[in-house]
Amino acid sequence: MFQSFEVTARPEQGPPRLQALRAELRAEGLDAFLVPRADAHQGEYVAPRDARLAWLTGFTGSAGFCAVLPEVAGVFVDGRYRTQVKAQVAGEFTPVPWPEVQLADWLRDQLPGGGVVGFDPWLHSAGQIEQLEQNLAGTGLRLRASANLVDRIWEDQPEAPMQPVRAHPLKFAGESHDSKRARLGEALHAARESAALITLPASLCWLLNIRGADIARNPVAHGFAVLRASGIVELFMAAAKLSGLEEHLGPEVRRHDPADLPDFLRGLEGPVRLEKASVPLILAEAVGERAVWGVDPCGLPKARKNPAEIAGSAEAHLRDGAALVEVLAWLDAQAPGTLSETQVVRRLEESRRRDPALRDISFDTIAGTGPNGAIMHYRVTEESDSILGDGHLLVLDSGGQYLDGTTDITRTIAIGAPEREARAAFTRVLSGMIAMSRLRWPVGLAGRDIEAVGRLPLWMAGQDFDHGLGHGVGAYLSVHEGPQRLSKTSHVALEPGMILSNEPGYYREGAFGIRIENLLVVEQAPALPGGDDHRAMLCWRTLSYAPIDRRLILPEALDPAALDWLNRYHAQVAEKIGPRLSSRAKTWLDAATAEIAIKETG
Mean pLDDT of 57-65: 89
> Given its phi and psi angles, is residue 491 left (phi above 0), alpha (psi -120 to 50 degrees) or beta?
alpha
pLDDT over 90 at 142, yes or no: yes
**pLDDT score of 4 more than 80:** no
Domain ranges of the chain: 11-153, 166-298, 304-592
Which of 81, 75, 61 is closest to 466 using CA atoms?
Answer: 81
Range of weakest confidence among 12-16, 132-136, 191-195, 324-328? 12-16
pLDDT of residue 532: 67
Kindly state the average pLDDT of the residues 247-266. Answer: 98
pLDDT tens figures, 529-579: 876 667 899 999 999 999 999 999 999 999 999 999 999 999 999 999 999
- Same topology for domains 11-153 and 166-298, yes or no? yes
304-592: what CATH class?
A: alpha beta
Whether the per-residue pLDDT at 296 is higher than 60: the answer is yes
Average of per-residue pLDDT across 130-140: 96
- Contact predicate 377/497, CB 8 Å: no
Distance (Å, rounded) from C-alpha 254 to C-alpha 131? 35
Per the prediction, the chain carries an average pLDDT of 95
pLDDT of residue 601: 45
pLDDT tens for each residue of 313-349: 999 999 999 999 999 999 999 999 999 999 999 999 9
Q: How would residue 9 be classed by pLDDT, with cut points 50, 70 and 90?
A: low
Query: Do strands 409-414 and 393-398 pair parallel, antiparallel, or not at all (unpaired)?
Result: antiparallel
Q: Is the pLDDT of residue 269 over 80?
A: yes
Q: Is the pLDDT of residue 600 over 70?
A: no
Distance CA 339, CA 13 (A): 32
Say yes or no to pLDDT of 3 above 70: no
Domain 166-298 has CATH 3.40.350.10: yes
Look up residue 309 and give its amino acid: E
Span 384-394, mean pLDDT? 97
Q: Report the range of poorest mean pLDDT among 3-17, 41-55, 154-168.
A: 3-17
pLDDT of residue 602: 47
Q: What is the pLDDT of residue 546?
A: 98
Among the ranges given (509-518, 524-533, 568-577), the one the predictor scored with the smallest mean pLDDT: 524-533
pLDDT band at 424 (very low <50, low <70, confident <90, very high): very high
Count CB-CB contacts under 10 A for residue 545. Answer: 25
Confidence of residue 466 (pLDDT cuts 50, 70, 90): very high
Q: Does domain 11-153 correspond to CATH entry 3.40.350.10?
A: yes
pLDDT bucket at 91, cuts 50 / 70 / 90: confident
Report how far apart, in Å, the C-alpha atoms of 32 and of each of 11, 27, 63 are.
22, 12, 20
The answer on pLDDT for 5 being more than 70 is no
Look at residue 428 and tell me whether its pLDDT is greater than 70.
yes
CA–CA separation, 74 and 111 (whole Å): 13
Residue-wise DSSP of 499-544 = EEEE--EEEETTTEEEE-BEEEEEEEPPPPTTS---S-EEEEEE--
- pLDDT at position 31 is 97
Confidence of residue 489 (pLDDT cuts 50, 70, 90): very high
Rg (the chain; Cα; Å): 25
Please, are residues 598 and 563 in contact by the beta-carbon 8 Å criterion? yes
* DSSP helix/strand/coil, 398: strand
Kindly report, residue by residue over 66-90, the tens digit of the pLDDT.
999 999 999 999 888 888 888 888 8
Q: Nearest Cα to 185, choosing from 231, 232, 226, 251? A: 231
Mean pLDDT of 99-116: 95
Query: Cα(78)–Cα(97) distance, rounded to whole angstroms?
Result: 6
Report whether pLDDT(412) > 90: yes
> Angle of helix 560-577 relative to helix 583-592, nearest 10 degrees?
170
- Cα(408)–Cα(551) distance, rounded to whole angstroms? 23
Across 257-311, where does the E strand assignment appear? 272-274, 291-293
The DSSP element (H or E) to which 592 belongs, if any, is: helix 583-592
pLDDT of 8: 67
pLDDT range class, residue 6, cuts 50, 70, 90: low
Q: Given a cut of 50, is residue 594 above it in pLDDT?
A: yes
